[in-house]
């Protein structure tokens, strides 16, 4: 028997309502052997950029052939396209609003199609929930082994993620906080390789020393280290860096080279 296909989900639906459950019901109706994994459903409402970072961080860990279904879709019911993609042996499904852009940026082999095959959709399409009506059916088909190109015509270009160019670290010396996690760790757009040993990070007027593990920080001390997603983050050992430093997403971070 083929191993059960994995479908990973990410959305801004929250856990309070029935929206995630209904999307899973559609997935299991069409791909009953799938194993479903929640990446998160607590993306702040309509925050495409946060979802894009979560998706790009988690994707490389999914098993090959897994499908990531991403639904943060402020444009639902308008003319924005819905797309599916193959990236280094995994699949992505979501709206073409920048949500898949970071993950595709970081992939080598990739192909994108536009979802146009209405026979695969729910029979009646709501104007408010394309995650359930169009995207979940596409994700289920891919999980069940259907080919990407059977879902629609190849699309050469996708919409970029606006306001997030920094993730590639192409601003010399400086970066920004792009995500604050629930521990209060402040993840920046500085890639691991940009930080040299002995350097310090400057956040506002503070200087923060670079360590290897959270536990190297003294109690209450703000530190910088390379986090599990391969990005430089600000942290406080057993505390919240966001609270300690008084910063939020968007805060500027500068690498201070040794004299």
Binding residues for its own copies, rule: CB under 8 A, are 3-4, 6, 8, 10, 13-22, 24-26, 28-29, 32-33, 35-42, 45-46, 54, 57-58, 61-63, 66, 74-78, 126-129, 132, 181-183, 212-216, 225-229, 237-238
Min. distance of Cβ 169 from its own copies in angstroms? 19
Residue spans of alpha helices (H) in 72-216: 101-105, 130, 136-143
Q: Which is nearer to its own copies, 20 or 251 (CB)?
A: 20
Residue tagged 């104007």 (tokens): 127
Q: Which is nearer to its own copies, 113 or 138 (CB)?
A: 138
Q: Which is nearer to its own copies, 54 or 251 (CB)?
A: 54
Q: At what angle do helices 19-30 and 136-143 cross, to 10 degrees?
A: 40
Rg of the chain on CA atoms, in Å: 20
Min. distance of Cβ 226 from its own copies in angstroms? 8
Strands 67-71, 35-40: pairing is unpaired
The structure tokens listed for 36 are 């479903």
Q: Which is nearer to its own copies, 210 or 251 (CB)?
A: 210
Mark 113-124 as b/e (b = at least 16 C-beta within 10 Å): bbbebeebbeee
Q: Which is nearer to its own copies, 144 or 174 (CB)?
A: 144
Min. distance of Cβ 32 from its own copies in angstroms? 4
CA atoms within 13 A on the CB side of 188: 31
Min. distance of Cβ 128 from its own copies in angstroms? 5
Min. distance of Cβ 162 from its own copies in angstroms? 14
């Amino acid at each position: 028997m083929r191993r059960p296909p994995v479908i990973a989900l990410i959305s801004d639906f929250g856990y309070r309502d029935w929206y995630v459950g209904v999307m899973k019901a559609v997935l299991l109706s069409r791909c009953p052997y799938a194993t479903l994994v929640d990446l998160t459903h607590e993306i702040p409402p309509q925050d495409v950029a946060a979802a894009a970072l979560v998706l790009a961080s988690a994707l490389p860990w999914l098993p090959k052939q897994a499908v990531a279904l991403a639904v943060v879709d402020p444009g639902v019911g308008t003319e924005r396209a819905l797309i599916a993609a193959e990236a280094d042996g995994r699949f992505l499904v979501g709206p073409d609003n920048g949500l898949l852009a970071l993950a595709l940026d970081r992939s080598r082999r990739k192909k994108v199609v536009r979802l146009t095959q209405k026979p695969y959709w729910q029979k009646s399409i709501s104007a408010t929930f394309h995650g359930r009506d169009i995207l979940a059916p596409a994700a289920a088909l891919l999980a069940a082994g259907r080919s990407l190109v059977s879902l629609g015509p190849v699309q050469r270009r996708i919409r970029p993620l606006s306001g997030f160019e920094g993730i590639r670290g192409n601003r010399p010396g400086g970066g920004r906080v792009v995500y604050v996690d629930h521990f209060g760790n402040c993840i920046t757009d500085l890639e691991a390789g940009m930080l040299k040993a002995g350097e310090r990070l400057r956040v506002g007027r503070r200087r923060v020393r670079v360590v290897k593990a959270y536990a190297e920080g003294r109690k209450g001390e703000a530190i910088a280290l390379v986090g599990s997603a391969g990005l430089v983050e600000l942290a406080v050992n057993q505390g919240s860096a966001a609270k300690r430093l008084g910063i939020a997403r968007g805060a500027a971070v500068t690498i201070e080279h040794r004299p």
